[in-house]
Amino acid sequence: MPDSTPVPVRMLDRVAGGALLLMLALMMAEIVARGAFEASLYVTEEVCSYLLAVLVFFGLPRVMLQDALIRVDVLHSRLSERYRLVVNLICFVVSIIIAAVFLYQIGRLVMSSYRRDIVTTSGLEIHIYLPQMIMIVGFLAIFCVLVLLTVRTLRRLAEIQQATRAKKPQ
């Protein structure tokens, strides 16, 4: 069966997977450096923190598309498909609003960091707006996925409505 996942989400998956592999390699290198040479790379913790952010923010859109988020199904599973879709639709709309607010606020933070030329205090001295951009890209992808899920839910609700009308006797 072909993968119906949007191409941008698949690209984010690959970047998230690469971040995970890079994290593992960096941690292994740190372990070897400490064990064999009694030395440290000194950047492992910081770089792994950035890579973890990539993993989370770039991996979440796939999780959302696959409906794999943790949910308490006590009420949700007892609803009819129609009402379940309505509840999902409400959640998607609220989530879109929250994601939009986050995008705006994170955008302000990134612009402030860029204007003030803030760098990390570690030896790497990375411009802090660069890792902050991970959140922008991630939330933008989450926002787009939420819009896509909202449209899919509205279409499914319309299909159910049409089927209900077609079943009613004239």
- What are the pLDDT digits (tens) for 97-155? 999 999 999 999 999 999 999 999 988 899 999 999 999 999 999 999 999 999 999 99
pTM here is 0.88
Contact criterion met (CB below 8 Å) for 120 and 126:
yes
2 domain-assigned: no
- Structurally, how many domains does the chain consist of? 1
16 domain-assigned: yes
95 domain-assigned: yes
125 domain-assigned: yes
Provide the Cα torsion 150, 53, 58, 55; round to 10°. Answer: -130
139 domain-assigned: yes
Q: Average pLDDT, stretch 32-40?
A: 93
74 domain-assigned: yes
1 domain-assigned: no
128 domain-assigned: yes
Domain that holds residue 163: 7-167
Contact criterion met (CB below 8 Å) for 30 and 41:
yes
pLDDT confidence bin for 32, thresholds 50/70/90: very high
Distances (CA, A) of 116 to 18, 150, 160: 31, 38, 53
Burial of 136 (0-12, 13-18, 19+ CB in 10 A): middle
pLDDT the model gives residue 2 = 62
pLDDT the model gives residue 154 = 97
- 27 vs 2, residue with greater confidence: 27
